């Protein structure tokens, strides 16, 4: 079933809007901050969403729910600024649900149709509920039935936690403990009962990358034909900052590119979807070597996955493979792409 076929029912929408309006009326952001995290366990899937009340800064008002350990990890990286403040890649890694309160002009026709169908009325600044689903590599999108049902539950439980936190500032404990207060539910005689539990987030799943073996015969032919040079190349992959739609949920295409450090020339590039593998980075490198008849002395990348992907090629062709902290020519190319996409809007 596609997301379009799995739109929330009227009953689910009504519960979600009622929960959102109660949450807004409480204005929990007057006494809660970004770092006051707590969890709500989905009674259906068992996944924990880590909740962040937003609004203390006076800019964005509402609730963000970071899904599972992966979602929490991305949020904590943002919060601690362990990555560069100008690194937008975390935006493309978001895994969360949001209930924000905004201006009417920030809603689209689909949002407004739901509001009209429920005979709801809102007026004024930051008064209109907006619900969105964030998935890695995809444009923020409308909720499906399961997401809407869960987000309604989260808003209800968030209000429970916020009310108690207002009178007991020790309720959420210390982040240093590694434990989070999580609201969990049990079903008894058809009724759900909720309680507090102190739980540690699940360990982040180990990313086990598997790539197709390299074509050793092809690499041997390249090595015989192409002479080594002193050139240094940079390679990387990243999401473009303009979403495209191909009949389903809009996504941010992922671009693979190789550049020559000395000249700044683009040696090869490829674009695919967020769900496709990263193997084009290897193919683009081999293609660039064949097209230029140049075997670089050194190739530089900055992602761990790129190192794993390219190591067999670098070993076979005796190219030095470096994991660099920054890729200046790639960064320059990205700025040019960003400027072009912005001018094309």
Nearest to 227 by CA among 320, 282, 289: 289
306 shares a domain with 255: yes
The model's pLDDT over 268-317, given as tens digits with 9 standing for 90+, comes to 999 999 999 999 999 999 999 999 999 999 999 999 999 999 999 999 99
Are 272 and 155 members of one domain? Answer: no
Last residue of a domain, one of 171, 199, 227: 199
User: How big is the CA angle at 322 (ends 94 and 272), to the nearest 5 degrees?
Assistant: 40
Cα–Cα distance between 203 and 201 in angstroms, integer? 6
Longest Cα–Cα distance of the chain, Å, equals 76
Residues 225 and 145 reside in one and the same domain: no
- Do residues 101 and 235 share a domain? no
| Percentage above 70 pLDDT, the chain | 96
Enclosing domain of residue 257: 216-343
For residue 248, the model assigns a pLDDT of 83
Q: Is there a single domain that holds both residue 192 and residue 220?
A: no
Residue 194 lies in a domain: yes
Question: Total structural domains in the chain?
Answer: 2
> Same domain, yes or no, for 160 and 279?
no
The alpha-carbon radius of gyration of the chain (Å, integer) is: 24
The answer to whether residue 209 sits within a structural domain is no
Residue 109 sits in the same domain as residue 149: yes
Asked whether residue 155 falls in the same domain as residue 228, the answer is no
Examine residue 61 and state whether it is found in any structural domain, yes or no. Answer: yes
pLDDT of residue 210: 77
Per run of 10 residues, the mean pLDDT along the chain (length 345 residues) is 76 98 97 95 96 93 97 89 60 93 96 97 94 96 97 98 96 86 90 93 83 91 93 96 87 96 95 93 96 96 95 96 96 91 73
pLDDT in tens, 214-266: 999 999 999 999 989 999 999 999 999 899 987 789 999 999 999 999 999 99
Residues 229 and 157 in one domain: no
Residue 80 lies in a domain: yes
Quickly tell me which residue has 């064949």 as its tokens. 290
Asked if the structure places residue 3 within a domain, the reply is no
68 in the same domain as 33: yes
> How crowded is residue 244: how many other Cβ atoms within 10 Å of its Cβ?
12
Same-domain check for residues 226 and 147: no
Task: For residue 230, give the CATH number of its domain.
Answer: 3.30.420.10
Residue 208 counted as domain residue: no
Establish if 2 belongs to a structural domain. Answer: no
Residue 86 falls within a domain, yes or no? yes
Q: Which of 141, 174, 199 is the last residue of a domain?
A: 199
pLDDT at 171: 95
The whole-number pLDDT of residue 342 equals 80
Whether 174 and 228 share a structural domain: no
């Amino acid at each position: 079933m596609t997301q379009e076929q799995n739109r929330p029912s009227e009953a689910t929408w009504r519960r979600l809007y009622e929960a959102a309006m109660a949450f807004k009326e409480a204005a929990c952001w007057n006494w809660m901050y970004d770092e006051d995290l707590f969890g709500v366990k989905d009674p259906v899937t068992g996944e924990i969403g880590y909740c962040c009340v937003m609004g203390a800064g006076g800019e964005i008002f509402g609730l963000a729910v970071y899904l599972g350990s992966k979602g929490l990890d991305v949020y904590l990286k943002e919060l601690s600024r362990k990555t560069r403040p100008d690194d937008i890649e975390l935006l493309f890694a978001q895994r969360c649900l949001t209930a924000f309160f905004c201006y009417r002009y920030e809603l689209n026709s689909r949002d407004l149709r739901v509001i009209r169908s429920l005979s709801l009325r809102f007026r004024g600044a930051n008064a209109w509920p907006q619900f969105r689903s964030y998935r890695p590599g995809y444009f923020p999108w409308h909720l499906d039935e399961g997401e809407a049902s869960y987000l309604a539950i989260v808003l209800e439980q968030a209000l429970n936690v916020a009310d108690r936190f207002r009178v007991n500032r020790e309720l959420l404990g210390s982040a240093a403990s590694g434990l989070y207060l999580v609201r969990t539910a049990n079903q008894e005689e058809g009724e759900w009962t909720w309680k507090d539990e102190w739980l540690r987030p699940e360990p982040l799943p180990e990313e086990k990358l598997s790539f197709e073996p390299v074509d050793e015969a092809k690499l041997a032919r390249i090595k015989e034909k192409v002479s080594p040079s002193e050139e240094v190349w940079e390679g990387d992959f990243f999401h473009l900052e303009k979403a495209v739609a191909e009949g389903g949920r809009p996504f941010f295409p992922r671009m693979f590119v190789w550049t020559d450090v000395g000249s700044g020339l683009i040696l090869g590039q490829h674009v695919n979807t967020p769900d496709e593998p990263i193997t084009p980075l290897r193919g683009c490198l081999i293609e660039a070597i064949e097209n230029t008849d140049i075997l670089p002395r050194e190739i530089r990348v900055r992602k761990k996955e790129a190192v794993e992907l390219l190591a067999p090629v670098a070993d076979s062709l005796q190219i030095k493979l470096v994991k660099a902290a920054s890729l200046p020519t790639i960064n320059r190319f990205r700025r040019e792409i960003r400027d072009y996409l912005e001018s094309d809007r």
